[in-house]
């Protein structure tokens, strides 16, 4: 009995071009620059009034959220490239920390989690203007107010 392989093979679609590593490495920078340009255009009034109820505010908020998330993506990508370069350089030399080479993906993912959580808190607190104390307390980053000693 044979089993079918569900994963796509590279030979199946030779006309599909894979993006270059430079394009993948620079994609977050493009997102940040695009969001910053859109945010700058909405703040300067160069776009003019956009017809529709609240559309200008939606474009402004979308640009700010894109700026926060794009910056988080860029930070994670730079960290990922630095860790990859460091581990490959040390493996070529035959020395260094073997733990960094074996746990590279985990380290990059944990760092990305922290960066994107920071971006989420930034979006909620700064862009949307909502208090983030509830988010921090529900994630156990801040103790609940009942656990704090009273000042009486």
In three-state form (DSSP H/G/I as H, E/B as E, the rest C), the secondary structure along 49-100 is CCCCCCHHHHHHHHHHHHHHHHHHHHHHHHHHHHHHHHHHHHHHHCCCCHHH
Give the pLDDT of residue 97.
Answer: 57
Residue whose entry in the numeric block shows the structure tokens 């402004």? 60
Give the pLDDT of residue 140.
Answer: 66
Give the pLDDT of residue 151.
Answer: 47
Asked whether the beta carbons of 56 and 49 are under 8 A apart, the reply is: yes
Cα–Cα distance for residue pair 83/101, rounded to 1 Å: 9
Cα–Cα distance for residue pair 36/93, rounded to 1 Å: 41
Cα–Cα distance for residue pair 132/139, rounded to 1 Å: 11
Give the pLDDT of residue 79.
Answer: 92
Cα–Cα distance for residue pair 148/41, rounded to 1 Å: 45
**Domain spans in the chain, listed from the N-terminal domain onward:** 27-46+54-134
Give the pLDDT of residue 11.
Answer: 53
Give the pLDDT of residue 120.
Answer: 92
pTM of the model: 0.67
Give the pLDDT of residue 123.
Answer: 92
- Tens of pLDDT, residue by residue, the chain (152 residues): 565 555 555 555 556 666 567 777 778 888 888 888 888 887 787 766 666 657 778 888 888 999 999 999 999 999 998 888 887 777 777 765 555 556 888 889 999 999 999 999 999 998 888 888 877 777 666 665 554 454 44
As given in the structure block, the two tokens for residue 17 are 């071009």
Asked whether the beta carbons of 94 and 42 are under 8 A apart, the reply is: no
Cα–Cα distance for residue pair 89/82, rounded to 1 Å: 10
Please give the DSSP secondary-structure letter assigned to residue 16: S
């Amino acid at each position: 009995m044979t089993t079918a392989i569900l994963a796509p093979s590279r030979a199946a679609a030779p006309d599909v071009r894979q993006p270059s590593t430079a394009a993948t490495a620079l994609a977050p920078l493009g997102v940040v620059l695009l969001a910053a340009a859109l945010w700058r255009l909405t703040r300067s009034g160069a776009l003019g009034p956009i017809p529709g109820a609240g559309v200008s505010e939606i474009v402004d908020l979308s640009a700010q959220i894109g700026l926060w998330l794009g910056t988080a993506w860029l930070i994670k990508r730079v960290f990922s490239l630095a860790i990859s370069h460091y581990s490959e350089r040390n493996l070529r030399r035959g020395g260094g920390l073997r733990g960094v080479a074996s746990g590279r993906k985990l380290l990059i993912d944990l760092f990305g989690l922290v960066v994107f959580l920071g971006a989420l808190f930034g979006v909620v607190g700064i862009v949307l203007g909502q208090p983030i104390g509830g988010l921090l307390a529900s994630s156990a980053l801040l103790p609940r107010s009942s656990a704090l000693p009273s000042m009486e």
